[in-house]
Amino acid sequence: MVAANAAFRAFVGDEHVVGRAYSEVFPGFAAQQISPMVQRIYATGEPQTGRGWRFQVDSDGTSPAREFFLDFVIEPYREADGTIVGVSGIAIDVTEQVRRREADQQHAAEAEHRYAQARDVITDLQRRLLPPGLPVLPAVRVAGSYLLADTEDAAGGDWFDAIPLPDGRVALVVGDVVGHGVAASAAMGQLRAVIHDRLDETGDLLAAIRAADRMARRVPEAHAATVCIAALDPADGTLTYCSAAHPPPLIVSADTARFLPPSGARPLGTGAGYDVAADHLDVDDVVLLYTDGIVERPGRNPAAATVELSQVAVDAVAGRGFHGPLPAIDRACTQTLELLVRQTGHTDDITLLAAQRRTPPAPFECTRPADHDTIRAVRHALDAWLHDHDTGENDRFLLAHAIGELVTNAAEHSRPDTVGGTVTVTAELGDDAVVTVRVADDGQWRDRPRTAEPGSRLSGGLGLAMTAELVDDLDLHRGPDGTTATVHHRLTRPARLLTTEEIHHGVPAHPSEPVSDLLLVLDQPQAPASRIAVHGPLDATTAPQFAAELTRRTLGGTHPLTVDLTAVTHLASSAVAVLARRHDTALSLYAPAGSLAHHVLSLVALPHVTEDPHFG
């Protein structure tokens, strides 16, 4: 570096930059694709520009990296004879504007219904045809991302799928139908359904791709579609794959990447013969399937873009790009997109689907005294175990509530004349993505009377009814030595359906926030009528406290009160019973659409409003 003004030195965080090597001042810029951009200026003489790019600057390697968003222009610096001898750059820090815009967008998103149907009909159709989630497996992590075409007509025919196979393998599918619009989306849905059905029934890759080929000959919109199917055996790392004119899978480690040899050169509907090839995936390595939109980007020839993809994927898996809480498998599907697409834009849909072998976490087991103090301890421990398996937030919520109800039952089955009663909770995840959770106690089943004191649990099996609705399957075994409840539930995690805005400003990590066990009941004096907001868990431990608080604030049920349940982190049947007993006389319940309370109250059909009655 030969010259720098005061603003640049402040950006770097170091007064002494002149005379130092660029790579020394910015060691992380190579993985953030800034250094290659500078090298292209030397090679081509073409200036480079960017608007709102994200940069992370790590000056000393010990402090947390500082993050900026910049508008910039970098141009070649030439001698009088036109020889390029350097580059000069001008940048404007737009971090504040970007953050403000992001805050405004977040505020607008929170003000809308989570399930609002305001998207374009074609886009909505396409997303509904894609799988709602990816399977959560014990020895394989699976992640995916989908970026719609950056054009007005948008929706096209890319699709992805991940299917646990009968023999313990997992099949990964990525395909691309020619064209855009409703016809392409419909053809995509048909091909995906055919391939999924064959794989789910037989696990045979050739049978699946041949069935898709036959369908593509009958359906004109599916003709010439491309597809790649790969099956990974987590036990020994064997990877078999079969493709129809689709880009080959990419094997990525922390240091290297290699493309597998193509196994089929002709697309679906052409009656081609297809072959299965084999390779191997080591533990912690990633296999990446993708559509050609990632290599056919504006201003890049496919050969150069393919090399660029492999280099960026290696840096993303190794964590040499942006720092943050995303695991390697998610970085491969999000940061790879961000770092490549923000430079060039994109004109076609882009799909990335990745799988990573891993050593599976041990099964879950916890034995504790059968009392109310155990409810939260088990709930938090099981949630941490599910988080280690990359379980999606929705399934973690469902299981936290279901198992919380079963542990509460176990605590209440404990006989008062028995000392030392225990409850044991075990959980194990199968190769079919189904988790089996057992809650066993050594107490005796006791039926409840129909009437109950305020704050106690209602009879009639409200907790068990909620549990049965929350999970896929519930089985109860009652015997002389205790009760065992067994839950089966298929686990998924969502794929990332991304927007161009997220690509340019950084894909959000969505880290899990720690859940507090503190219950707060706060006045909302700015409301025109009596109103409180509840923060924290409403479970068997806090339900009596909550019932007493409602009795006090409603003057024994004679004074109307609005209860804002937006910030409730857990809503057990014991608390639902408290709300139900008082609802007809005094309470008006507010639970916004998409909130945890809305989900539970809808499940038990307890009336509530989803639009804020006072500040809507």
- Say whether both 257 and 152 belong to one domain: yes
- Say whether both 159 and 176 belong to one domain: yes
Give the pLDDT confidence score for residue 58 in this predicted structure: 73
- Say whether both 348 and 395 belong to one domain: no
Q: Taking the CA of residue 310 as centre, how many other CA atoms within 13 Å lie in the half-sphere pointing to its CB?
A: 16
* Residues constituting the chain: 616
Average pLDDT over residues 485-512: 79
Q: Taking the CA of residue 344 as centre, how many other CA atoms within 13 Å lie in the half-sphere pointing to its CB?
A: 23
Query: Is residue 78's pLDDT more than 80?
Result: yes
Query: Is residue 226's pLDDT more than 80?
Result: yes
Percent of the chain with pLDDT over 70: 88
Which pLDDT tens digit goes with each residue over 305-333?
999 999 999 999 999 888 778 889 999 99
Query: Is residue 486's pLDDT more than 60?
Result: yes
- Say whether both 141 and 20 belong to one domain: no
Q: Is residue 424 domain-resident?
A: yes
Q: If you ran DSSP here, which 8-state letter would residue 9 be given?
A: H
Q: DSSP labels for 82-129?
A: S-EEEEEEEEEE-HHHHHHHHHHHHHHHHHS-TT---S-HHHHHHHHH
Q: Are 50 and 60 in contact, with CB atoms under 8 Å apart? A: no
Helices then strands, each counted (H, E), the chain: 16, 25
Last residue of a domain, one of 357, 392, 426: 357
What is the chain's mean pLDDT, rounded? 86
Which pLDDT tens digit goes with each residue over 95-140?
999 888 888 877 776 665 443 444 455 556 556 667 878 999 999 9
Phi then psi for 331, rounded to 5 degrees? -60, -35
Contacts (Cβ under 8 Å, ≥6 apart) of 63 = none
Give the pLDDT confidence score for residue 10 in this predicted structure: 85
Instruction: Please give the Cα distance from 312 to 315 (Å, whole number).
Output: 5
Give the pLDDT confidence score for residue 454 in this predicted structure: 37
Chain position carrying tokens 């961000």? 338
Give the pLDDT confidence score for residue 459 in this predicted structure: 39
- Say whether both 348 and 399 belong to one domain: no
Contacts (Cβ under 8 Å, ≥6 apart) of 513 = none
449 or 463: which leads in pLDDT: 463
Phi then psi for 175, rounded to 5 degrees? -140, 170
Give the pLDDT confidence score for residue 445 in this predicted structure: 60
Q: How many domains does the chain have?
A: 4
Instruction: Please give the Cα distance from 210 to 242 (Å, whole number).
Output: 11
Q: DSSP labels for 353-397?
A: EEEEE-PPPPPEEEEEESSTHHHHHHHHHHHHHHHHTT--HHHHH
Average pLDDT over residues 601-609: 91
Last residue of a domain, one of 291, 326, 357: 357
H/E element holding 227? strand 226-232
CATH of the domain at 567: 3.30.750.24
Q: Is residue 499 domain-resident?
A: no
Which pLDDT tens digit goes with each residue over 344-397?
888 888 999 999 999 998 999 999 998 888 888 999 999 999 999 999 999 999
Query: Is residue 174's pLDDT more than 90?
Result: yes
Q: Is residue 339 domain-resident?
A: yes
CATH of the domain at 216: 3.60.40.10
Give the pLDDT confidence score for residue 509 in this predicted structure: 62
CATH of the domain at 77: 3.30.450.20
Q: Are 400 and 437 in contact, with CB atoms under 8 Å apart? A: no
Q: Is residue 376 domain-resident?
A: yes
Q: Is residue 610 domain-resident?
A: no
- Say whether both 313 and 387 belong to one domain: no
Which pLDDT tens digit goes with each residue over 443-457?
766 555 444 443 344
- Say whether both 369 and 327 belong to one domain: no
Q: Is residue 501 domain-resident?
A: no
Give the pLDDT confidence score for residue 39 in this predicted structure: 87
- Say whether both 170 and 190 belong to one domain: yes
Which amino acid, one-letter code, is at 268? L
- Say whether both 405 and 425 belong to one domain: yes
Q: Which of 118-127, 137-146, 295-304 has the highest mean pLDDT?
A: 137-146
| Tokens standing for residue 314 | 């290696």
73 or 444: which leads in pLDDT: 73
Cα dist from 210 to 240, 272, 290, whole Å: 16, 9, 21
pLDDT band at 90 (very low <50, low <70, confident <90, very high): very high
Q: Which of 130-134, 224-228, 464-468, 536-540 has the highest mean pLDDT?
A: 224-228
- Say whether both 132 and 81 belong to one domain: no
Cα dist from 205 to 140, 198, 274, whole Å: 19, 8, 10
| Tokens standing for residue 492 | 């998924």
Query: Is residue 511's pLDDT more than 90?
Result: no
User: Sheet of 48-57: strands edge to edge?
Assistant: 48-57, 66-78, 84-93
pLDDT band at 523 (very low <50, low <70, confident <90, very high): very high
Last residue of a domain, one of 65, 98, 131: 98
- Among 185-199, 285-299, 385-399, 458-472, which is the least confidently predicted range? 458-472
Domain range for 232 is: 118-357
Give the pLDDT confidence score for residue 508 in this predicted structure: 64
CATH of the domain at 417: 3.30.565.10
Instruction: Please give the Cα distance from 488 to 473 (Å, whole number).
Output: 5
Percent of the chain with pLDDT over 90: 51
Helices (H), 227-359: 302-318, 328-344
Contacts (Cβ under 8 Å, ≥6 apart) of 582 = 550, 554, 557
- Among 124-128, 146-150, 512-516, 570-574, which is the least confidently predicted range? 512-516
Give the pLDDT confidence score for residue 217 in this predicted structure: 94
- Say whether both 487 and 539 belong to one domain: no
Query: Is residue 47's pLDDT more than 80?
Result: yes
Give the pLDDT confidence score for residue 154 in this predicted structure: 52
Q: Is residue 110 domain-resident?
A: no
- Say whether both 402 and 486 belong to one domain: yes
Which pLDDT tens digit goes with each residue over 418-436?
556 889 999 999 999 999 9
Beta bridge partners of 257: 252
Residue 85's Cβ-count burial label (10 Å; 0-12, 13-18, 19+) is exposed
Q: Is residue 280 domain-resident?
A: yes
Contacts (Cβ under 8 Å, ≥6 apart) of 77 = 84, 85, 86, 87, 88
Which pLDDT tens digit goes with each residue over 187-225?
888 999 999 999 999 999 999 999 999 999 999 999 999
